[in-house]
Amino acid sequence: MRAFLLPDLGEGLDEAEIVGWHVTEGDHVVADQPLVSVETDKAVVEVPSPTAGRILRLFGAKGDLVKVGAPLVEFAEGVEQDSGTVVGELAREEAKPAIANAPAEPARPQSFHVLPAVRALARKLDVDLNLVQATGPGGSITTADVERAAKSVADAGAAEGLRGMRRAMAQRMTAAHASVVPASVTDEADIDDWGKSEDVTIRLMRALAAGCKAEPSLNAWYNAEAGERRLIKRIDVGVAVDTEGGLIVPVVRNVGERDPRDLRAGLERLRADVAARSIPPEELRGATITLSNFGMIGGRFANLVVVPPQVAIVGAGRIDQRVVARQGQAAVRRVAPLSITFDHRVVTGGEAARFLAALKADLERAS
């Protein structure tokens, strides 16, 4: 009997959620036959069988979380002990390290004073005393404090564990907050000379490429542990896509060398795959800089989050008509708000400002 372990899915996570099994115990399978579908932070991925054989046991049911390296399937025959392989084309040495969960809130010192009757009430109402705000004498917790905490929990509704994309977002944002030193610069671009049918997202990607060519330091990866920065010639833009389950960021490749029609076709294909939750994992890796066109939903400026190893993210706010000075006169013009957040450990304010100036100049061109 040999075990097949949950492989490294190349998503920077240490676990995945079982969506559904494609086989049952006792089935004979062939090599590369899909065994199970699991949900990562961005997509549903099929895990294939590493070999032919008869399935003796399945580990886990739909909805269970399985750790990377934990048993998935036990074969009665036909497979060697598996140490876990990478699904897709990401090599083992290139796989991103798993991100630790956010640190827990510090517990209340054990010496805080609670009467036995108050402790009993807390147990009855299922209230964690470490989370109760004390208002009694000397910092003691009163019956009213416990009842108020219980009411707050009841009003808030049942808690639910984060899974899939939401869980991954929490982990990655925690890691980004802990490591990146963010700084932001903002400006506005006068786009009133654009044609009526101008493709806003494609113009933003073109302008972003212009910014990267003018100031390459923002199209880079930074390895903080090694203290190494890698400037990247090709511009691969992660485009933030809002979905019901969370934010997904597919990557549009080689933006600086593609024409607008090709970029639009590629972006539509990626968005269709995102909507179907079938986007290949390799389409989510390797972005050199990110674009968030949040203005399609609302908002003008934003303090965005840089996700390592990238060092910058560009945000475009809601396009509005505004009164601006033009040739010494007040004029009503269409204006696009722009925000850039960068990792100040490796990008200077001057570099970010030059990038923004080039981006703005490209956007203000008529075509």
Q: Taking the CA atoms of 277, 279, 280 and 284 in sequence, report the sign of the dihedral they define.
A: negative
Average pLDDT over residues 5-12: 74
Long-range pairs for 315-321 at CB < 8 Å and ≥24 separation? Answer: 315/291, 315/339, 315/340, 315/341, 316/200, 316/204, 316/291, 316/292, 319/191, 319/200, 319/295
CA angle 273, 275, 196 (to 5 degrees): 95
Tens of pLDDT, residue by residue over 130-168, are 888 888 877 788 889 999 988 888 887 777 777 777 888
At residue 348, what is the residue type?
T
Q: What is the CA radius of gyration of the chain?
A: 26
* Cis peptide bond prior to 250, omega within 30° of 0: no
Q: Is the pLDDT of residue 81 over 70?
A: no
Q: What are residue 320's DSSP bridge partners? A: 335
Tokens of 116: 């036995």
Tokens of 72: 């998935």
Which domains, and CATH codes, for the chain?
2-92 (2.40.50.100), 116-156 (4.10.320.10), 165-363 (3.30.559.10)
DSSP-based three-state secondary structure for 93: helix
DSSP-based three-state secondary structure for 197: coil
Confidence class for position 112, pLDDT limits 50, 70, 90: low
Q: What are residue 239's DSSP bridge partners? A: 291
DSSP-based three-state secondary structure for 121: helix
Alpha-carbon span 229 to 287, nearest angstrom? 15
CB 356 within 8 A of CB 211: yes
Strands (E), 140-226: 182-190, 220-223
Tens of pLDDT, residue by residue over 226-240, are 999 999 999 999 999
CA angle 281, 282, 284 (to 5 degrees): 70
CB 312 within 8 A of CB 185: no
Strand 44-48, strand 228-231: pairing: unpaired
Alpha-carbon span 111 to 95, nearest angstrom? 45
Least confident of 85-94, 121-130, 343-352: 85-94
Predicted pLDDT of residue 10: 63
Average pLDDT over residues 17-24: 91
Predicted pLDDT of residue 329: 94
CA angle 51, 57, 58 (to 5 degrees): 85
C-alpha 319: how far from its chain's center? Answer: 25
Predicted pLDDT of residue 134: 86
DSSP-based three-state secondary structure for 170: helix
Distance of CA 30 to CAs 27, 34, 53, 96, 258, Å?
Answer: 10, 9, 7, 30, 41
Tens of pLDDT, residue by residue over 83-110, are 444 444 333 333 333 333 434 444 444 4
Q: Is the pLDDT of residue 311 over 90?
A: yes
Tens of pLDDT, residue by residue over 291-308, are 999 999 999 999 999 999
Mean predicted lDDT score pLDDT of the chain: 86
Alpha-carbon span 360 to 357, nearest angstrom? 5
Q: What are residue 319's DSSP bridge partners? A: none
Q: Which of 128, 182, 173, 118 is nearest to 150 (CA)?
A: 128
CB 186 within 8 A of CB 339: yes
- Crossing angle of helices 143-156 and 116-125, rounded to 10°: 10
